[in-house]
Amino acid sequence: MSVWSRLYAIVDAGVAARAGWTPPDLARAYLDGGARLVQLRAWGVDAATQLGWCQEIVRLAAPLGARVIVNDRCDLALMAGADGVHLGQHDLPIEAARRLLGSTALIGVSTHNAQQVDAAVRQPVSYLAIGPVYDTRTKDTGHAAVGLEAVRRTSAVVGTRPVVAIGGITLATAPDVIAAGAASVALIADLLVGGDPACRVREYVDALGGS
């Protein structure tokens, strides 16, 4: 899939459990709705369980040409045959992840300010995430909302690499975030609004003009 997906659907194991979903079943719903870029995030879950979830999600995504990213865990991404990994500021160094995963893997990094963006663009990353764009209760980031101006600035300095905007984005605000220069909007909690994740994803796909 050569075109970067406008919707970046994050399957957070904790959020999924509170809504009554297993991560693979929630990923299936997102894929059924049209998501073609999915991340598994499972903090605090044992490695064996995470690996099983990764393998199942990769199996579901493969026939659709969808891409699967694993949060933090390069080892699990490798073993499950996922497309890449997403790293935070305090995770494995980007260059080490690139050596482990190879030149074609997708490697993303979270950034929260201009200094982190400027450092990341000098690294072998595939995409940069910037946020939180708006205030969010899904994750205690420890960072203030950066707003659309940070999305604009980041998109101006990353060159051809996609910018993924995350944090407090809703169906109402997602088009504004894309208009500010983001290639994708990353969603967690808002994809569960209404209780029908596949339908909610379809709403996003329609609003953003494609998956």
Q: What residue segments make up the domains of the chain, in order of their start?
A: 7-208
Q: Is the pTM of this model over 0.85?
A: yes
pLDDT at 142: 65
CATH classification of 7-208 is 3.20.20.70, yes or no? yes
Tell me the per-residue pLDDT of 102-115, one tens digit each, with 9 for 90 and over.
999 999 999 999 99
pLDDT at 211: 75
Q: Structure tokens of 91?
A: 């995770």
**Angle 47-61/23-33 helices, nearest 10 degrees?**
20
Residue matched to tokens 């663009």: 121
- For residue 129, the SS3 value is strand
Kindly list the averaged pLDDT for each block of 10 residues, start to end, along the chain of length 211: 82 98 98 98 97 98 98 98 97 97 98 97 97 80 87 96 97 97 97 97 94 75
pLDDT at 140: 59
pLDDT at 2: 43
pLDDT at 68: 98
Of 208, 201, 146, 139, the closest CA to residue 173 belongs to 208
pLDDT at 125: 97
> What is the distance between the alpha carbons of residues 44 and 20, in angstroms, rounded to a whole number?
18
Catalytic residues: 41, 110, 139
What's the full length of the chain, in residues?
211
Contacts 24+ apart (CB under 8 A), 156-163: 156/181, 157/117, 157/118, 157/121, 158/117, 158/121, 158/128, 159/121, 161/121, 161/125, 161/126, 161/127, 161/128, 162/4, 162/126, 162/127, 162/128, 163/127, 163/128, 163/129, 163/130
Tell me the per-residue pLDDT of 107-161, one tens digit each, with 9 for 90 and over.
999 999 999 999 999 999 999 999 999 997 765 556 799 999 999 999 999 999 9
